[in-house]
Structure 1
Amino acid sequence: MPTLQTHAPRRTFVKRFIGGLVISATVLSNIACAGGATEEWPSWRGPNETGESSAINLVSDWAIDGDNLIWQQAFVGRSTPAVFDGRVCANGRQGNGMTKQAVVACWDAGDGTPLWERTFNVYHTTVPFSRVGWASVIGDPETGYLYHHGVDGLLIALDREGNTVWEWRLGEDTGRASGYGGRTQNPVIDGTQLILSNIGANWGEHGAPRHRFWSFDKLTGEVLWNSLPGNRPWADANTQGTPVVAEIDGRRLLIAGAADGWVYAMDVGTGDLVWEFELSKRGINVTPVVVGTTVYIAHSEENIDNASMGRVVAIEGTGSGNITSSGEIWQANALGIGFSSPLYHDNILYVVDNSSKLIALDASTGAELEQLNVGTVGKSSPVWADDKVYYTEVNGRVYILEVGPSALSILDTEEIQVPGEERHAEIYGSPAIAYERIYISTEAGIFCIGDPGASYSGEGLPILQTASSTENREPSRLQVIPAELIVKAGEEISFEVRAFDADGNQLGPQDNASWLLDGLSGTIDDAGTFRPAAGENQAGKVTAELGNLSAEARVRSFAPLPWATNFESGQKPNWWMGGGRFQVQELDGGMVLNKSRSPVGLNRHVIYMGPSSMTGYTVQADIMGARRRRTRPDLGLINGGYTLDLQGGYNRLEVRAWAAELRMMQRVPFEWREDKWYTMKLTVEVGPDRTLVYGKVWERGTEEPEEWTISAEDPMRISSGSPGIYGYSPVDIFFDNVQVMENQ
């Protein structure tokens, strides 16, 4: 379950409609009554997820030294800001050495006055400091909430004052993976849902590493559904594509490119697969844009049917099933559009390749119309507003382009430098257009660009509402809410059943379902209230049945400490998160946990054994590593955000939190032998102003030493985290007698 703090929504609006929009006379009247209200930019591709703004009166030039620069604030950003509710908000990084952290901040959109700032420790990741802040924040105009997805798997909802509403540690609680590349998916909001995708290995039947899509209740953080649309192994775990939501042929779809090289369209209310399209032999990083029933998307990897690299496609989005052959409208080959998302305007599709070349394509045929070089590294996405294209390039350049009747041309170029370092400021985020101003987040600060003499209104346009009649609709799909959760043994949890028709329209709660438990001990009543059995850890399903329909929720229940696992049952605990490569085997007359060299992929794996909210405990296990020639493994334990790692290649013991930065790392020499059992112990004590980490290793069967082998102090204080085990296994590693107990 998410860590939840209740806050009332700031204000109530109607739900935004994305897709083929029909504006009624009533809506037009409401917009007219909005007075000085202007369009906002709450998510990275704008209010309609297309990269297009209706703003007018935007400037055609500006200068760092003052011309048309309304305000600037110091900040180290990497992604697109969210501008809504009179605020501009962004995430990034701050600190040096021991104090390196992620940061989320908001400023007054009018004059740049700082409103609030939150910092977050980064841990359990190999993403380096320079890539922190990769995913863009997203704002919700209905509630005033801001949502942040960190490189280490922190997903957090913040209210208008920056207070935590709810949060998940996705790595520890859902198995989300985090690798060196740092590419992190942006969330998207649709109605009451916050939808996010990631790659990881969950528990039970979801244990295979796959690209999954998750829907959370944006107010509470409860999981509404999670979807594995293709169930294919990922081709590239380091992907960043963002889903978009569009209504096509009367059905509301979530459309995204995935790490397996396919494009998927899912029912946005349930995550059910509607259609799939094979595009690339590698993962897809580009976010699609949808116009009517046409889906435009691109990649820069190897194509599935020829030797060329890169392709832009137009897909007819009304199909079902595998539409790789039937759904393609056109393709443009050998265009390396690997990161920048397409921009559509007036039947022209604008794309930026990896070398920052802006290419205009005929949106009906894919024929190339023109090109323009705008820098050398293309990562951000172009934005259309006021008959101009605004574009940022990685090497600190901000372009304003004129779109003439026959050619693209550059109106203005400004190059941003890092103060005092005589180098360009990296810009990975795209421009955000709101309140007739341009907002840009860079390595050298947040910039607000516009006419300083123009009137300003920090009020956004009303959010448009659509409604579909569900009268006399028959249920064809059930959903149990919450769909995935963590509970305490003996704690009551109430489930709700929702029904959907064949077009994905929600029909509302269903009160007459029957309930079953699968793999869980405990009781559940007719109202769907479940009380797991006390005194044991367990994982299983709660199933609801209504007529010939059924749906299930996945539950992990944890008892109070102590816990102990010796593997003599021949099975590893099914509530452990991740660890599909770990297997139980017989060794020397007993059963132990083993991980061998991975046949493909990485040899470095972790298992999380409990919720991320745990604190004040000790982890202990017996460990052993093999050897092949000069190759030796690493073995370790995880406790409260910290890792104790016995490193075979270096004959040393290490304590760390953030593997890429080692900001609080401590090391001591430790000679150990292969094929010999040792006992390892890790204790973490969280204090009011620091965290103390203690580790021991000694030969199994000998008396435990009184002194700690290694200790570390962290003034940045990680306050909680799941217990776990860690291993790097180019050769076999073994674990036995795993214990988690309260600190003494």
Structure 2
Amino acid sequence: MKKIRTIAFAVGLTALVSVGSGAALADVQGWLNWRGPAGTGISQEKKLPTTLTAPLWSVKLAGGGTPVIANGKVYALGYDGIGADLQEVLLCADAETGKKLWEKRFSDYLSDITYDRYAIGSPTVDPETGNVYMLTSAGIFACFTADGKPVFSNAMMETLGRLTFTNGRTGAPTILDDLVIVRGITSNWGGDGAAMDRLYAFDKKNGKLVWSCSPGLAPKDNTFGLPIFSWRNGKQVFYSGAGDGSMIAVNARTGEPIWRYPISAGGMNATVVMYKNTKGEETAICVHADENIDASNAGRMTAVKVLSEPKPAEPLTPGAAPGPPVLNKSSEAWRNDDLSAVSSTPVLVGRNLYLTDKTGFLDCVDAETGKILWKQKLAPDQLHASPTYAEGKLYVPFQNGLFYILKPGVTGAQVLAKTQLAGRCIGAPSVYNGKVYVFSTERLYCYGKPGGKPMAAIASVGEPKKFAGPTVALQIVPSEVILRPGEKVKLSIRGIDANGFVTETFDASKATFEQYVPPTAKVRALLDAKFENGEIVGGAKSSAGAYQATLNGFKGIMRGRVLTALPYTEDFESFNPTEQDTLLPEAKFAYPPLPWIGARFKFDVRELEGNKVFAKTLDNIFFQRATVFFGHPDEKNYTFEADVMVDGNRRTKSTVGLINQRYYIILNGNADELEVNSNQERIKATVPFKIQSKTWYRMKTRVDVAASGSGMVRAKVWKKEDPEPTAWTIEVPHKSAHTVGAPGLFGFAPQSLYKVYIDNISVKPN
């Protein structure tokens, strides 16, 4: 067992203790994440600015998150450019001067983001290695060294079915010892096919998936609150708001949900704050701005006793809910229905909670009772930005661009300084080396004096991790894989105790693996793979499924997909529609191919005119618009063809399309147009094309990218029975072309009225 050490850590509010890798305490100094050294929004720095007359420096870069600082470098996730060539930017600059040291650029693709709602999230720096982690609006989860060298990258939209939404909120990665945790609403495959607010823990050094977690019910909003860590009966636990409107408690080592407490009719976006009351009870405090599930009013701040045990006999909602056990109202320490915040997170100083609410007030709240001690109007409203506390002062940005320095007192706050920043402020300020950094939607600002001496990192204190108990199960890493035929991925197998802590590491080559089908599986499919010398090796055919490993009497499960190399074809004739349609009792269907991402509940396979076809479902209006991926995210330089058909009448028709290298190519039935887009506000080009319902068309598309990085998206469409036209129907140039991307399908059944049909898929390398 390696020596146990404590670290000054990214997001935990209480002590976070890790089993070290030999690095010294606090190797990396700075404000390493969204809420600072202890995850509380509090800094122990001194000699901070008290005036805002002029910034020390500013950089023209728009952003909606928090800049983070490590060892004299500031890392900021922003965006730059206009129109089709707008890109998100991970900037690394000198923290003293703002001089750019390096940057990484990422194009948006296949997203729903509107009104330039980009970079509403923050990078995170690992306190051990100094590596920088970030998540783009389109779902690229990437890690770089402090010098900008790539460590790993994961296109989560295409690998895990991560969905995008108009508001573009991504939040920030969270470091826990050897794990890095990110979240999002995903619609993956198999048991994870339903759209859920999920958290994913990866090995921070290589990006391999360690665990995933589906802690709630069907989401109502995409939540970007961060997990906050504590201890519960020997388990290291995190607390967070969730997309289904609950507060959740989850084992941070395994992803196992412990409980949920339903509160809001919308997603819970503000990050939880932990407080130990005068009775010695630890409480998790959250705030939201949506309608409450047990009242008609909107907004509430709630304190939940974290050691509460679920009482199924007294459910908060009628009936037995699936998922983790549900707490009832007796778990509340207090509630206040006069407090409401969209996603602004309070900062806790002693027992005073300072909150910027949605109406632009700064509220001082007693964390013991929930009583409002005082309120002070500072702006017309507030959205995401959170206050930061240091040296007895609050640094508070607002949605309208006002930035305050305030000295809180017994009856109110004294305004020490106030300035109007260019643009809006959505992210929280950060503090480092006597300076305060804040983002607006136009510039990155640094206030303070030049020079100074960075303060040593704060060593966390709190309950140490106990030595692990006896092994009870195996944890296989990666817990989920994507393989090409013949591709090998090295496995690591470790024993874990009843609390989820690692007990020992096993030789993966000594384990026996057998195919495993979950008892609840809708599709009883098997993964085509084999195991050699501690590696999993992809088989020859496209497949998906799970394996159970056994070693020394202990068991663990991993799952994966094999995605065949191009060329790829599918005509659906091998499917056997035997499932009963709930809307049409006389109709039968088959579930979609299991390895396909995002297909479950949104598409199925049906008999139509003597053929098997891929059809859009109509039974859930929330799935009226659906994107499916069936190939590897690294595919490029291919031609994609398929037969497509829309349904409808003169007033309303469905829409069908293909996805080629992160571009939608769609037949828009309502508009009678052939359209190419990637995000409709960034890239959208159309040509008229008269579309007849219940008529099969052949669609063909390819993307060509030049050495300069510019590209051309080409597509042609013709009636299936007609000869292929020589000319392309549409050609769309893109200066910053997408160079890779999984092939996929798109269907839109407006108001779930009319189906979309696809058949005879063919993807060939150019």
State if a TM-score over 0.5 links the two structures: yes
Give 1:707's aligned residue.
Answer: 727
Deviation at 1:21, TM superposition (A): 4.0
Q: AA paired with 2:599?
A: G
Work out the CA distance in 1 between the residues paired with 2:739 and 2:115: 21
| 2:569 equivalent to 1:564 | yes
Give 1:587's aligned residue.
Answer: 608
| 2:574 equivalent to 1:531 | no
Give 1:503's aligned residue.
Answer: 499
Q: AA paired with 2:669?
A: G
Deviation at 1:642, TM superposition (A): 1.2
Work out the CA distance in 2 between the residues paired with 1:234 and 1:87: 37
The 3 A distance-change label for structure 1 pair 22 and 136 is closer
Between the aligned residues of both structures, percent identity stands at: 30
Kept after mapping to 2: 8 A contact 1:75/1:443: yes
Deviation at 1:680, TM superposition (A): 0.6
| 2:228 equivalent to 1:244 | yes
Deviation at 1:370, TM superposition (A): 0.5
Give 2:65's aligned residue.
Answer: 79
- SS of 1:172's partner is helix
| 2:349 equivalent to 1:352 | no
Work out the CA distance in 2 between the residues paired with 1:684 and 1:458: 50
Aligned mate of 2:259, from 275, 279, 296? 275
- SS of 1:696's partner is strand
Q: Looking at both structures, which has the greater relative contact order when contacts are Cα pairs under 8 Å and sequence separation is at least 6? A: 1
| 2:219 equivalent to 1:234 | yes
Aligned mate of 2:32, from 39, 42, 45? 42
Aligned mate of 1:636, from 657, 661, 669? 657
| CA shift digits 1:434-460 (9 cap, x unpaired) | 1121111112322111234xx523575
Normalised by the length of structure 2, the TM-score is 0.88
Kept after mapping to 1: 8 A contact 2:635/2:661: yes
Deviation at 1:613, TM superposition (A): 0.7
Deviation at 1:334, TM superposition (A): 3.0
Work out the CA distance in 2 between the residues paired with 1:599 and 1:274: 29
| CA shift digits 1:569-623 (9 cap, x unpaired) | 2243210000221011111111111114453224211110112111111111101
Deviation at 1:125, TM superposition (A): 0.4
Kept after mapping to 2: 8 A contact 1:14/1:142: no
Structure 1 unaligned regions, length at least 5: 1-12, 24-29, 418-424
Kept after mapping to 2: 8 A contact 1:85/1:141: no
Structure 2 unaligned regions, length at least 5: 18-23, 277-281, 311-325, 517-525, 576-589
Work out the CA distance in 2 between the residues paired with 1:613 and 1:498: 30
| CA shift digits 1:395-422 (9 cap, x unpaired) | 11111111224432222111123xxxxx
Higher mean C-alpha displacement, 319-328 vs 653-662: 319-328
Kept after mapping to 1: 8 A contact 2:119/2:169: no
1:665-744 superposed matches below 5 A: 665-689=684-708, 690-730=710-750, 731-743=754-766
The 3 A distance-change label for structure 1 pair 202 and 399 is same
Work out the CA distance in 1 between the residues paired with 2:13 and 2:224: 23
- SS of 1:98's partner is helix
Work out the CA distance in 1 between the residues paired with 2:309 and 2:483: 38
Q: AA paired with 1:290?
A: M
Give 1:517's aligned residue.
Answer: 515
Work out the CA distance in 1 between the residues paired with 2:253 and 2:620: 38
Kept after mapping to 2: 8 A contact 1:543/1:553: yes
- SS of 1:130's partner is coil
Work out the CA distance in 1 between the residues paired with 2:565 and 2:137: 31
Aligned mate of 2:417, from 403, 412, 420? 412
Deviation at 1:566, TM superposition (A): 0.9
Aligned mate of 1:612, from 633, 637, 643? 633
Give 2:21's aligned residue.
Answer: none
Aligned mate of 2:168, from 177, 182, 195? 182
- SS of 2:191's partner is helix
Kept after mapping to 1: 8 A contact 2:32/2:69: yes
Q: AA paired with 2:515?
A: L
Work out the CA distance in 1 between the residues paired with 2:328 and 2:106: 43
Work out the CA distance in 2 between the residues paired with 1:335 and 1:549: 49
| CA shift digits 1:133-176 (9 cap, x unpaired) | 11111122321211121111111112212232211111111101
Deviation at 1:341, TM superposition (A): 0.7
Work out the CA distance in 2 between the residues paired with 1:483 and 1:174: 13
| 2:480 equivalent to 1:468 | no
Work out the CA distance in 1 between the residues paired with 2:492 and 2:78: 38
Work out the CA distance in 2 between the residues paired with 1:22 and 1:272: 19
Kept after mapping to 1: 8 A contact 2:7/2:460: yes
Work out the CA distance in 2 between the residues paired with 1:522 and 1:339: 44
Aligned mate of 1:218, from 189, 201, 204? 204
- SS of 1:171's partner is helix
The 3 A distance-change label for structure 1 pair 250 and 611 is same
Higher mean C-alpha displacement, 456-465 vs 561-570: 456-465
- SS of 1:131's partner is coil
Work out the CA distance in 1 between the residues paired with 2:226 and 2:664: 31
Give 2:43's aligned residue.
Answer: 53
Work out the CA distance in 2 between the residues paired with 1:229 and 1:681: 41
Deviation at 1:190, TM superposition (A): 0.9
Work out the CA distance in 2 between the residues paired with 1:325 and 1:546: 43
| 2:374 equivalent to 1:376 | no
Q: AA paired with 2:749?
A: S
Work out the CA distance in 2 between the residues paired with 1:100 and 1:605: 25
Deviation at 1:59, TM superposition (A): 2.1
- SS of 1:497's partner is strand
- SS of 2:119's partner is coil
Kept after mapping to 2: 8 A contact 1:383/1:391: yes
Work out the CA distance in 2 between the residues paired with 1:98 and 1:265: 41
Aligned mate of 1:578, from 598, 603, 625? 598
Q: AA paired with 1:353?
A: D
Aligned mate of 1:306, from 285, 289, 295? 295
Deviation at 1:218, TM superposition (A): 1.4
- SS of 2:171's partner is coil
Q: AA paired with 2:491?
A: F
1:121-200 superposed matches below 5 A: 121-128=107-114, 130-200=116-186
Deviation at 1:15, TM superposition (A): 4.1
The 3 A distance-change label for structure 1 pair 494 and 517 is farther
Give 1:493's aligned residue.
Answer: 489
Deviation at 1:310, TM superposition (A): 1.0
- SS of 2:169's partner is coil
- SS of 2:547's partner is strand
The 3 A distance-change label for structure 1 pair 741 and 456 is same
Give 1:451's aligned residue.
Answer: 449
Aligned length: 702
Deviation at 1:307, TM superposition (A): 2.0
Kept after mapping to 2: 8 A contact 1:39/1:54: no
- SS of 1:575's partner is coil
Q: AA paired with 2:513?
A: W
The 3 A distance-change label for structure 1 pair 129 and 457 is farther
1:646-661 superposed matches below 5 A: 646-661=667-682
Higher mean C-alpha displacement, 47-56 vs 442-451: 442-451
Kept after mapping to 2: 8 A contact 1:104/1:117: yes
Work out the CA distance in 2 between the residues paired with 1:467 and 1:344: 23
The 3 A distance-change label for structure 1 pair 702 and 460 is farther
Higher mean C-alpha displacement, 478-487 vs 493-502: 493-502
Work out the CA distance in 1 between the residues paired with 2:534 and 2:16: 40
